[in-house]
């Protein structure tokens, strides 16, 4: 028991370290890009839009994998004909039937945050990539309206964010034809590929851990129901006890 306690304690400390390291890393990124965020309000708007995009992508992954999340459930029930599960469970929810659009969206907005905070000189490339993503919004709305015949509010928020970023880029003058410097193109490609690879590798393990935790919670909740407890109790060995029993 003592060895098991130490093992669980190390696990808790490791998880806490990861949590605070993530917070510290994010704070460091903001500090590095603080001057640009203060000097150029439009960059701050881009950052806020992409932060919302990361959060929505996180909720979409929960819904797509059927992991309980109260915030995702509330947002998905905003519309009368809203229900994210029907859309996210369809064959169109995965690009080429392999990669989920939720993972792609999460990595896309994460890459945008990296560019906005650390590499603002690449925002013009980010603006072009965002323009290339706009046709996807038309397809997504069309699919929900005519094929799935069910609205996914989280998906619609993603489409609105794509157009919001486009409007910010347009009004800020970021939509221009760049000089296409090779090093900038390579750096932009790495920034967009790396978060996608990290999410693709880390997501299965995180999903399995979360599903295991959820399964244990569901099992414990089931065992606590009176009818289940009574059924299990009656299956135990029974010993007759009377007044003569000590």
pLDDT in tens, 63-91: 877 777 777 878 877 766 556 777 776 77
Q: What is the pLDDT of residue 189?
A: 92
Q: What is the pLDDT of residue 32?
A: 64
Q: What is the pLDDT of residue 172?
A: 87
Of 54, 58, 38, nearest in space to 112 by CA: 54
In whole angstroms, give the CA distance from residue 142 to residue 41.
34
Per-residue pLDDT tens over the stretch 33-70: 666 666 677 888 888 899 999 999 888 888 877 777 77
Q: What is the pLDDT of residue 38?
A: 64
Query: Which stretches of the chain drop beneath a pLDDT of 70?
Result: 1-3, 19, 22, 26, 29-39, 79-83, 89, 96-98, 207, 246
In whole angstroms, give the CA distance from residue 239 to residue 145.
65
Q: What is the pLDDT of residue 190?
A: 92
In whole angstroms, give the CA distance from residue 246 to residue 244.
6
What are the Cα distances from residue 241, in Å, to 47, 232, 233, 245, 246? 72, 20, 16, 6, 9
What are the Cα distances from residue 58, in Å, to 1, 13, 189, 230? 37, 24, 22, 40
Q: What is the pLDDT of residue 208?
A: 72
């Amino acid at each position: 028991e003592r060895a098991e306690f130490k093992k669980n304690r190390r696990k808790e400390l490791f998880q806490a370290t990861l949590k605070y390291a993530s917070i510290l890393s994010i704070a460091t990124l903001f500090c590095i890009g603080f001057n640009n965020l203060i000097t150029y309000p439009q960059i701050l708007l881009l950052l806020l839009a992409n932060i919302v995009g990361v959060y929505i992508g996180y909720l979409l992954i929960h819904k797509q994998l059927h992991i309980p999340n109260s915030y995702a459930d509330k947002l998905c029930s905003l519309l009368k004909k809203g229900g994210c599960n029907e859309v996210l469970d369809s064959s169109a929810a995965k690009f080429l039937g392999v990669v989920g659009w939720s993972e792609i969206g999460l990595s896309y907005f994460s890459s945008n945050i990296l560019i906005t905070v650390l590499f603002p000189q690449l925002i013009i490339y980010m603006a072009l990539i965002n323009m290339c993503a706009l046709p996807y919004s038309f397809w997504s709305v069309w699919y929900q309206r005519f094929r799935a015949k069910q609205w996914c509010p989280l998906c619609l928020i993603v489409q609105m964010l794509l157009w919001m970023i486009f409007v910010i880029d347009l009004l800020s003058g970021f939509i221009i034809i760049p000089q296409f410097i090779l090093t900038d193109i390579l750096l932009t490609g790495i920034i967009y590929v790396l978060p996608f690879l990290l999410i693709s590798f880390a997501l299965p393990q995180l999903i399995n851990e979360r599903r295991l935790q959820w399964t244990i919670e569901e099992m414990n909740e089931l065992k606590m129901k009176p009818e289940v407890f009574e059924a299990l109790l009656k299956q135990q060995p029974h010993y007759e006890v009377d007044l003569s029993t000590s």
